[in-house]
Amino acid sequence: MLKRIVVAFDGSELSREAFAYSELMAEAGDIDLEIVHLLEPIAPPVVGEPLAGVDVNPVLVADTAQAERDLVEERAWAEQELRSIKQFCESRGRSCATTIEEGRLSHWLTRNTEPRDLIALGAKGRFKRSGFGSSTRALVKSAPCPVMVVACGLKPVNRILAIYDGTEVSERAGVMARELAGQCGWPLSILAVTSKKLSIDDSLERAQMLSAEAQVISFGAVGASEAEQIEEAADHARHALVVIGAYPDSVFHQLFFGGTTGHVISHVDAPVILVP
């Protein structure tokens, strides 16, 4: 069972949507909420040697006074924003912890979360390359808990859609989805994905073993890619939260052919929980 949802809040629109989905889940599953804002250091600008045509010996130039003023202003803004969020939660009868720290967001999240936590963040903002770049991949691989990436506006959520493709990571995703469905009181559907290595019959049978009570489904035309099957299933399972094993493809495959995880985050109109 989830004990806490840690929302990375930077003020961006999608970080607000990540909070909204987290608050919805917290209410349904009686889960603690913590909203975190990190005051991240800004790298000083780089200038080259004035007499050189090429920056052979770049020089770092830092306006310490301005950086300190910016930090004070951001902290004041963050305190006001998080105070408003806390008051909103309290008006709904739910407590909400808030944290403002200095440092790198990814480092803080990795060091201050536990296996029974869930990290929630927007797909833009501090993690604007979520699903495609190295930031989210590094976070998912280093964090001790699942990560929920939100790339869509808020809509009702009343069910869980788990993705099973025969891999060990998809089995872990299925277990997490089963526990979350039970905790929130939502029905669970499991998409049995087919591939060249996994027939539809085998996928359906093995997916059902993850949860006897779950509705096991299959979608997509013969020969459809895993990403296409997931996208079609998510369109049919309206108001679902998608739970998927994170980044099973190699970096080489992601770079040259794209990856299922990145496709799901960018094309599925639902919050996506990535299970490492």
**pLDDT 10s digits, 112-149:** 999 999 999 998 755 543 343 456 777 888 899 999 99
The average pLDDT across 33-45 equals 80
Q: What tokens appear for 197 in the block?
A: 């290595």
All structural domains of the chain, each given as residue ranges with its CATH number in brackets, are 1-49+64-153 (3.40.50.620), 155-276 (3.40.50.620)
What is the rounded average pLDDT of the residues 160-169?
92
CA end-to-end distance (rounded Å), the chain: 16
pLDDT category at 266 given cuts 50, 70, 90 is confident
Give percent of the chain with pLDDT exceeding 70. 83
pLDDT of residue 273: 95
In this prediction, residues 88-116 reach a mean pLDDT of 94
Full-model pTM: 0.85
pLDDT at 49: 47
The beta-strand segments (E) located in the chain are 4-8, 32-39, 46-47, 59-60, 97-102, 117-122, 147-150, 159-164, 188-192, 215-217, 240-245, 272-275
d(CA 130, CA 232): 22
Distance CA 59, CA 22 (A): 44
Q: What region, left, alpha or beta, does residue 220 occupy, with left being phi > 0 and alpha being psi -120 to 50 degrees? A: left
